Structure 1
C-alpha cells in the first residue's frame, strides 16, 4: 500500500508528462501514418471504426487516469473559472495552442487514412485537440486548487482554428507551429517550479521555450524554383521569469520581458528521400524548429543576432 501511494504521488507531481507522451504519440502516429500506411481512396469502415475505438480508449483512459492519479490528491470544489491570462507572458497559452494544433492534425490524418471524406475529417478529426484539452479544463474547473481557464480554452480553439482554417483556404498546412528549447539559469534558482532536469525544464521553464510559426515559402508560389524545404519562421518567447506574475509577494526579484524572433527553418517532410524510415523520422520530428541564424528583438527594444538559436 505504501508503494502504491509513492507511485501515485510521483505521478501526480509530473502531470505534464502525460501531455508530453500524448504530444509525441500524435506525432509518431501521424508520421507513421503518412509514410508506411497506404491511405484508402474510399471509406474503409474497419479502419474508421478502429480509429474511433482507439481514440476513445486513449482519450477516456487518459482523462480517468488524470482524475484518479492527479486530481484525487487535491480537494474538489464546485465548477469555477480562474483568470490566469497574465501568467508566464502567455507562453503557457501558446503551448496549449500548439498541442491542440498537432493532436487535431493527427486526428484529421488518421481519418484521412480511413477514407473519411474531407468535411468529416475537419469536423471529427481536426477538433480532437480542442475537445480533449477542453475536457481537461473541465476537470480543472472542479478542482479547488486550480479552475477552468478561459484563456486556455481560447488557446485550444486557436490551435484548432489554425489547422482548420488552412485546410479550408489552401487544402494544406502551409504554416505550422514549431517548438525549440534551451536550458537557462532560472531553473537552477527555482528547480521545484521550473524543473530539476532537462525533461522537466523543457516542460516547465518557459524562459527556455520558444514557439514558432514556420511558413513554407515554396507552397505560396509552387511554380517557382524556390527550395521546397526552406521555411521562414517567426518566434515568440520570454525571459527573466522566476514566477508566473510580477507581485510584491515574490521572494526573489525578477525582470521579465518578451522576445520576438525572425529565423530560417526547414520543412523536413519536403526533403526528397526514397527512404521510408527517414520520411517517418522527418514527419515525427518536424515539430522541432531547426537551429538557424536568428534575429531577436525584445520588449525593451534591444536587438540581438544569434548565429545558431535553439
Structure 2
C-alpha cells in the first residue's frame, strides 16, 4: 500500500478535522454560557482527532520502520524551509478550528483560546516525539519552532484582539518539477498538492482595516498578503544528478517572495448557515489575486492572477 509521507498526512488530517468541525459547529462565538452537551461533543471530536490521528500515523507509517532510543535530527535546510512554514500553517489552523468549536460550546473566550492553542501545539509535538523514537527520523527543533510560531500567531492575536487580524493561508499552483521525481513530489493531483513544495505558497494575510481607527480607509474584506515559496527542488536537501538511472536537468533552487491582495472571507455576511460554514473553511486558502513576485533568478514578475 502506498502511504503519504507522515507530515503530509498531517495536512490531510487537519483538513478533514477542519471540514468536520466547520460543518458541525455554528460560527457564532458570542455565548459565554457553557452548553454541557455541546462541550462534550466538541471535546469528543477533538479527542477523537487527536487519538485517531496519532494512532493512524503510527499504523500507517511508523510501525513499518525500526524504532530507536530518543534522538535528534536536523532537517532545517530541507526544501528551503517551505516545509517549516507548512508546519506553522498546520498548527495555526488546528488551533483556529479547535477554538471555533470550543467557543460554539460556550466556553469563555480566554479558556477557549488557551485550550485550543495548547491542543494544536500538543498534537504536533506528539508527532515530534514519535519522530524522535524512530530510527529513520528524529526530534527536529526546527519543526518544533515552526509549530510554536503557528501557535503563537493564533494565541497572541486572540489575547490581544480576540480576532485574527493576521492569518496564515495556503495556495497551490502546479509546478513542472513533480514530473521529474513523482515518487518524492507526487504523481496524482492530491499527492502533488501535499508533497510538491515547489507548488505550495504560504501567506501572511493582513487585514489593514482592523488596524485602522477609521471605517472608511479600506474595505473590511480586503487583505494585503505577503507570501513565501520556492522552486527548482527535485530533492529534499539538494537536487540529484539522476533519478532511477535517468539524467536530470540542472535546476537552481530558488526562494520566491510575493506581495498580493487577498480576501478575508470571514468578513462576508450571509444569512445562510451553509455559506457561513463554507466561508469559514475556505478562509484557510489564499484567494488568487494580482500578485508581484521577486526571486533572485528572474527578479520582479507581475501576475494579473497569482496563486
TM-score, with length taken from structure 2: 0.91
Structure 1 CA distance for aligned equivalents of residues 138 and 241 of structure 2: 22
- Name the counterpart of 1:294: 291
Structure 1 CA distance for aligned equivalents of residues 254 and 29 of structure 2: 48
Structure 1 CA distance for aligned equivalents of residues 27 and 44 of structure 2: 21
In structure 2, the gaps of 5 or more residues are 243-247
1:152/1:131 CA distance change after superposition, 3 Å: same
- Name the counterpart of 2:124: 133
Is the contact between residue 215 and residue 233 of structure 1 (CA under 8 Å) also seen in structure 2? yes
1:72-130 Cα offsets, whole Å, 9 max, x none, are 11111111110000010100000000000010111122111122222221221122111
Q: Name the SS of the counterpart of 1:127 in structure 2.
A: helix
Structure 1 CA distance for aligned equivalents of residues 277 and 4 of structure 2: 33
1:176/1:227 CA distance change after superposition, 3 Å: same
Using the TM superposition, name which of 17-26 and 260-269 deviates more. 17-26
1:112/1:32 CA distance change after superposition, 3 Å: same
- Name the counterpart of 1:170: 161
The within-5 A match list for 1:22-41 is 22-32=13-23, 35=26, 40-41=31-32
- Name the counterpart of 2:245: none
- Name the counterpart of 2:85: 94
Structure 2 CA distance for aligned equivalents of residues 36 and 246 of structure 1: 44
Residue 42 of structure 1, CA deviation: 1.0
Is the contact between residue 30 and residue 284 of structure 1 (CA under 8 Å) also seen in structure 2? no
Residue 13 of structure 1, CA deviation: 4.3
Tell me if 1:192 matches 2:183.
Answer: yes
Is the contact between residue 110 and residue 159 of structure 2 (CA under 8 Å) also seen in structure 1? no
Is the contact between residue 205 and residue 262 of structure 2 (CA under 8 Å) also seen in structure 1? yes
- Name the counterpart of 1:264: 261
In structure 1, the gaps of 5 or more residues are 1-8
Task: Give me the CA root mean square deviation.
Answer: 2.0
Tell me if 1:279 matches 2:291.
Answer: no
Structure 1 CA distance for aligned equivalents of residues 82 and 131 of structure 2: 19
- Name the counterpart of 1:146: 137
Using the TM superposition, name which of 110-119 and 86-95 deviates more. 110-119
1:121-149 Cα offsets, whole Å, 9 max, x none, are 12211221111011011111111111121
TM-score, with length taken from structure 1: 0.90
Is the contact between residue 188 and residue 196 of structure 1 (CA under 8 Å) also seen in structure 2? yes
Aligned residues: 300
1:28/1:279 CA distance change after superposition, 3 Å: same
- Name the counterpart of 2:229: 237
Is the contact between residue 26 and residue 102 of structure 1 (CA under 8 Å) also seen in structure 2? no
- Name the counterpart of 1:5: none
